[in-house]
Structure 1
Amino acid sequence: MQTVTMPANDVENIHKNDLDLLSPQSGDVYLVAYPKAGVTWMTEIVTAIYREYATENRNLGKEFGNAVRAHAFCDVCPMARRRNANNQNKMNKNVVGFDANGKEVYENDEEKRRRIISLHFPLKRMEKMMPEVFIDDAVKLIYVARNPKDIAVSYYHFHCMNEALPTPESWEQFLDDFVKGYVRWGSCLEHMREWNKKQHDLDATGKHGQLLWLTFESLKKDLKGAMRLICNYLGLNLSDRGLANVVNRCTFASMKADPKRNHSSNTIFKSDFLRKGKVGDWKTKFTVEQNINFNKFMARELENNFSRLRLQDDEL
């Protein structure tokens, strides 16, 4: 596989219709994760929470039920925003995102909508390009971490099935590139480590509600409990029935069975976008030697402080 790194010039790597996503608005929720750590899942969760909240609070208008979802840096996310070249009635306006039903939302849309914006930004890039996110209390951040071994395996398979990405020469070569950070979005462990430090720094300055840290593993272990935590963080109350509806909609099986959420019509993918969604799938790919070496790598990069990242030793 050819080594892939992000361009040095941030702006060159952003489509023009992504620039507005880097200007936070009151009520925005930014979902951040390294690729294949769970940002797609978290997008579905927040969307479902908003949708159910709108159903239970119809007096609030449509801003939650009609929330727009978008992904910044769509040049490395081909299923994200794009120019509509076919619908003449829309005068070829840019697609700025999608609503909860998967319908395209066009630029200059006049409807009031909450924005759910997912991205893979490393912390330094986020601080450089949109520092307001860490200042405005009306903007929320949710970070999703995952066992780096499971990320490596999932990212490898994603390269194998995605025609927009270089096909790996082998699992061994991809793992070597992954460890060295020679993949899109750079080092996975640095990504998680820096964002975790940011959360602690924000807490230390009294901004406890600015960044919610979650793990893929915690979502798998107790999805309902995690959703209740997310609701509290966003200041939204759902009934037990509403919460159950959200949980049922956001199980991996439910998402995988839905062609829209599994992106089945996207010809750029040679197989299902949603593959397994399991904890510990790394065990099917890592050799004993690879596991030993990777553990040493994690111990060095994370300074043996797995608990601070809220990843348990038995998950690693």
Structure 2
Amino acid sequence: LPLHSLNSDHQMDSLSRALLFDFHGVSMTHYFTNNWENVQNFQARPDDILIATYPKAGTTWVSYILDLLYFSKMSCQRQTTVPIYDRVPFLEIAVPALVSGKDMADHLPTSPRLIKTHFPVQFVPKSFWEQNCRIVYVARNAKDSVVSYYHFDCMNKVQPDPGDWSSFLQRFIQGKMVFGSWYDHVNGWWKKKQTSSRIHYMFYEDMVENTGQEIDKLCSFLGVSPTPEEKNSISVRSQFDSMKKDQMANNSTNAVMDFNVSPFMRKGKVGDWKNHFTVAQNQDFDEDYKKKMKDSQLQFRTEI
């Protein structure tokens, strides 16, 4: 049962904005913890590929690229009739009246199965580690992340109420976001990568700057070798503007999103934070950022 099978107004009305609560030390909402036991017991297969990100870091983008890398030759129909959120299910999501992400992942017909998660590293079901699955992690700079997350929460009817921009920014700094602190997330995954050759850690800014080069790196990590023509075609098809127009990629068929408020794929740029942060907010943010990141080797670019 695909996610977009939910379209009756009655069911839509029954979806309410979630409230944040502390879950094993991470801010979460019930839409991502309701199915906790089942998700933790998920049986990964050795060829599964997990796409992991903090929200709004290019998850759909990388999902789309991987889907094209593996399945663009499978059937043209797949690309034109199956939305990306059905091709790459969201493991932990459990919204009433919709098929859970875990059930969708269990029934994926493809091999490899492409599965996405926003879990911090400590929440990943253990079978992914036991099966030695490959994991692609994408990180995006904090300033663009918080701006993108704000617009997303405005238009996504199952996310907590974002409030105004300045209070949202404060909550982000405090880590009071669904899936917790950005700082903990990017650093937790980075630390795990140091001891695991099965994690490919990518940066959103690098993808924007040189998509082709990042696709090359992905290919060598995954051990796939598309022809130069195929690679070029994927690079062209996965550009932001063409994905934004693609109904199967842009989430416009997703029942929980209100496109009257904002598109799901808004700008896809690096540096849009400059249109949102005041000078004072930027100074406060930078001071706090330095403290929180002082022991981290991670280097992010906030402009390119």
Query: Does the 8 Å CA contact 2:39/2:92 hold for their aligned counterparts?
Result: no
Of 215, 233, 236, which residue of structure 2 is paired with 1:227? Answer: 215
1:287 deviation in Å?
Answer: 0.6
Question: Is the CA contact 1:4–1:184 (under 8 Å) kept in the aligned structure 2?
Answer: yes
Which residue of structure 2 aligns with residue 75 of structure 1?
A: 94
Shift of 1:174: 0.5
1:86-235 to structure 2, matched below 5 A, reads: 96=104, 111=109, 113-126=111-124, 129-130=125-126, 132-137=127-132, 139-202=133-196, 208=197, 210-235=198-223
- Letter matched to residue 134 of structure 1: W
Task: For residues 47-86 of structure 1, give each alpha carbon's deviation from its aligned partner in whole angstroms, at most 9, with x where no partner exists.
Answer: 011124768xxxxxxxxxxx9521111137x9xx9339xx
Rounded to whole Å, the distance in 2 between the matches of 1:227 and 1:153 is 26
1:186-209 C-alpha deviation (Å, 9 max, x unpaired): 10011101111111233xxxxx3x
Partners of 1:253 and 1:200 lie apart in 2 by 34
* 2:59 aligned residue (33, 39, 42): 39
- The residue number in structure 1 matching 2:300 is 311
Query: TM-score, normalized by length of structure 2?
Result: 0.79
Q: Aligned pair in 2 of structure 1 residues 171, 269: CA closer, same or farther (>3 Å)? A: same
Measured in 1, the distance between the counterparts of 2:169 and 2:57 equals 16
User: Number of residue pairs matched?
Assistant: 270
1: CA distance, partners of 2:194 / 2:255: 42
Q: Secondary structure at the match of 1:237?
A: coil
Counterpart residue identity of residue 282, structure 2 = N
* 1:136 CA drift (Å): 3.4
What is the CA-CA distance between 1:166 and the residue it aligns to?
A: 2.7
Q: CA deviation at 1:3?
A: 6.4
**Conservation of the 8 A alpha-carbon contact between 1:5 and 1:186:** no
TM-score by length of 1: 0.76
Structure 1, unaligned runs of 5 or more: 56-66, 85-93, 98-106, 203-207
Alpha-carbon separation, structure 2, partners of 1:183 and 1:134: 26
**Could you say what the CA RMSD is over the residues aligned between the two structures, in angstroms?**
3.1
Cα distance in structure 2, aligned partners of 1:310 and 1:21: 35
Q: Is the 8 A contact 1:29 1:142 kept in 2?
A: yes
- What is the identity, as a one-letter code, of the residue corresponding to 1:125? F
Query: Which residue does 1:284 correspond to in 2?
Result: 275
Deviation at 1:21, TM superposition (A): 7.9
- CA separation of 1:41 and 1:218: change in aligned 2, threshold 3 A: same
Name the SS for the 1:118 alignment partner.
strand
1:75 partner SS: coil
Identity of aligned residues (%): 29
Instruction: Give yes or no for contact 1:21–1:72 (8 Å, CA) kept in 2.
Output: no
Do the aligned partners of residues 246 and 133 (structure 1) sit closer, same or farther apart at CA in structure 2, a change above 3 Å counting? same
CA contact (8 A) 1:33 1:145 kept: yes
Is the Cα contact below 8 Å between 1:161 and 1:270 reproduced in 2? yes
Q: What whole-Å deviation, never above 9, does each CA across 1:1-35 have from its counterpart, x for those lacking one?
A: 99623544999814389638832101110111100
CA offset at residue 263 of structure 1? 1.8
